[in-house]
Amino acid sequence: MITSIINLYRNKLLGLTLITSIINLYRNKLLQNTFLYFVVTFVGKIIPFLIIPYMTAFLTPDQFGLAATYAMYVSFFLLIIGFELNRFIDVNYFKVSEEEFSVNLSTVVSVVLLSSVMILVLTIFITRFVNFPEINSVWICLIPAAVFLKFVNILNINLLRNEDNAKLYGVFSISETLTYSGLSLILAWLYHSWTSKGAALIVAMCVFGAFGFIRLYRKYGIIFSIDKKVVQKAIKYSIPYVFGLNLANIIFLNSDKIILKYFYDYSTVGIFVVAFTFASIVGFVTDSFMKAWTPIFYRKLQDQDPSVDYQSVIVCISLGLVSIVSIGLVYLVMPYMIDEKYYEAISIMPYIAVLFIPRVAEQLLLFYINFFERTNVLYGVVILAIISSVFAAYFLVEIYGVIGMAISMNLFIIFKLAYYLFFVKQFRSS
């Protein structure tokens, strides 16, 4: 009898312990945000994923290729107009007072606004003398204004993440994805042209940039104001990103369109873009966790938490395993999600998707470089991009065909990982 009572008491304690553990797990801020970012990233990936069967039915591979080329122009304008100044704002959120941060934010927004106006005037002048292949110059002239608003939206979303405001982050991110995807689908159904994706892209950037500006104005009181000292610090911080990391990423993400167009045609470019779209789904789980981990990681570094390096290794291993499983799942469902004329993309996808495994470690090492403001090392990334995404890509495509392009993308991530690791080990041990 006494033994039964003791066992019952123990079972109750075990039950209470289990309930307490579940409650604590639910209350864990990292897990809450990870789940929310997971849902947001999942929706962000799944919506374009779900409309692919219809988009591949409405648009030919040529049209997909032209849409990808237009998106390439947008990414180029974003680099030269935004000048990666959003990264300066991102890292300074944790380092300066609220008043100083508001001045920094106002200065950066004002500088980018002036930059977009000057680039718009220059673009109008250039398009009078230069023709862009198969893309009307009017579409090119729409980009600078839209890019300014896109930059504001990037600032807004990054700050929502830093504020641990995952819910509002989700509202902005999902709404933008729904707008772009829904409008793309409707216009593709109506017009069967690449401009359906181009128009949807411009509209989504403008609408959510405007909403983002309103939120930043209300939250931080941004005004048109330029502080020369802030400009100097921001540009000094951002230049290595512009002429280093992001120039390298533009080469990495767009060399496929140029090289494949050189060897093949827009149709092949379109098929490769579809393969890359499916491959990028592999990264949605890792990206969702990284979005939640970023502010925690920076705070741990700020507090000099000795466990941060060990935790980073665990994150890399865990998310790497998740990526491997995801590749298999995407490969299984892909044949049911695309039109027959895009079936060649199925065999290309795994070669691209593999890059998301080392990419996790590469992202974490970049966090170290950002926090310790050792951004000068990023200049070297351009050389890695030229070696892997231009020279190596050219010869690999010549030898292995389209698969060679995917291999070159993996080379870039691996080169970048080794390069970052070399420098992070140096300044972490000093």
Arithmetic mean of pLDDT, 218-229: 91
CA neighbor of 151 nearest in space, from 180, 178, 114, 182: 114
For residue 20, is pLDDT > 60? no
Boundary (domain end) residue, out of 226, 256, 273:
226
Arithmetic mean of pLDDT, 67-88: 89
Number of domain units in the chain: 2
Do the domain assignments include residue 257?
yes
Whole-number Cα distances in Å, 147 to 83, 96, 108, 134, 180:
11, 27, 14, 21, 15
Do the domain assignments include residue 335?
yes
Q: What is the pLDDT of residue 300?
A: 83
Same domain flag for 218 and 330 = no
Same domain flag for 210 and 250 = no
The CA-based angle 330-334-340, given to 5 degrees, is: 165
pTM: 0.72
The model's pLDDT over 174-218, given as tens digits with 9 standing for 90+, comes to: 999 999 999 999 999 999 999 999 999 999 999 999 999 999 999
| Candidate from 52-56, 152-156, 232-236, 282-286 with smallest mean pLDDT | 282-286
Do the domain assignments include residue 232?
no
Do the domain assignments include residue 425?
yes
Q: What is the pLDDT of residue 13?
A: 47
Boundary (domain end) residue, out of 226, 257, 287:
226
Domain range for 358: 244-430
Do the domain assignments include residue 304?
yes
Same domain flag for 158 and 260 = no
Q: What is the pLDDT of residue 303?
A: 81
Boundary (domain end) residue, out of 164, 197, 226:
226
Same domain flag for 276 and 390 = yes
Instruction: Say if residues 312 and 293 touch (Cβ distance below 8 Å).
Output: no
Q: What is the pLDDT of residue 14?
A: 46
| Candidate from 72-76, 285-289, 310-314, 328-332 with smallest mean pLDDT | 285-289
Same domain flag for 283 and 339 = yes
Same domain flag for 381 and 257 = yes
Same domain flag for 358 and 263 = yes
